[in-house]
Amino acid sequence: MDPSIIWIPKTFSLANFADTLRVMDFWDAFKNSMYIGVGCGLLDVLSCAFVAYGFARFRFPFSNMLFALVILTLIVPVQTIILPLYAEMKYFDGFGLMKLVSAVTGGPDHISLIGHYSAFYLPSLFAMGLRSGLFIFIFRQFFKGMPKELEDAAYVDGYGPFKTFFRVILPNAKNAIITVFLFSFVWHWNEYYQSNLFLGNLKKNFAIALSSLRVDLQSVVNVQTISDPLVVVTRIQAGMLLSIIPLVVLYLVTQRYFTDSVEHVGIK
């Protein structure tokens, strides 16, 4: 490495990217990150929109207090609930159903979701995933800004609340849907703490792969070269670039809907 070179190299080389791709196990990390990001994003959109519609359009006992608790989850760090959450995923009993069946059949009364994508999907399915409180708030503000005449017309046509939600409300909430999906995808893509616990030792996403990149480089780069700090830095920079390219592409595709939704929610 020539330390006198700052911006333009004397010779063009992709060796740093080749080493990084091999060390990170790029395609495996990419697959895991995509499965988690896309799956949780879609589930967050569906579950949080459903919950938010109830807060925005229906009045029920303690609705304001319950929504305040939803907002409170925004300031509660995940570290405060990670132990019971990990125990629930490690000894998942299907909300008690497996214990009931086990008492009759003598089979196992729990299964472990550690190392499976289900450990991420289940909280998102019930609007309890990463930053779900913010997603509920975004949808609630968006739904409160929608004209009630749309729902009144649907009720006149014989639609019930559920059919109105899926046939009228969701199709008109495209901007909010894209915004929530984008937030959820990016946060799950970059999430290290929960990923390190729930994926186990057999799987890793980009966040885990990047965190161990410096150590893993020793397995593919010779000792004389790895002792040069510039070699390590260039490989880490290559890994960071590879990890953010999908996020940049996603934002470029959705930025118009994202900015429109943020402005709409902010006004309301």
Q: How far apart are alpha carbons 5 and 9 in whole angstroms?
A: 6
CA atoms within 13 A on the CB side of 5: 9
Q: Which domains does the chain have, with CATH numbers?
A: 15-267 (1.10.3720.10)
CA neighbor of 176 nearest in space, from 255, 264, 246, 238? 264
- pLDDT at residue number 60: 85
- pLDDT at residue number 223: 46
- Output the pTM of the full model: 0.84
Instruction: Give the pLDDT means over successive 10-residue stretches in the chain (268 positions).
Output: 63 78 87 93 95 90 90 85 87 80 77 88 90 92 88 88 90 90 92 86 82 76 58 83 90 76 53
Start-end of H helices in the chain? 15-24, 26-57, 63-72, 82-90, 97-105, 118-125, 132-144, 149-156, 161-164, 174-190, 193-198, 206-211, 213-216, 223-226, 229-267
Which tokens sit at 26? 């790029």
- pLDDT at residue number 35: 93
Beta carbons within 10 angstroms of residue 211's beta carbon: 14
Q: How far apart are alpha carbons 132 and 46 in whole angstroms?
A: 11
DSSP state of 92: B
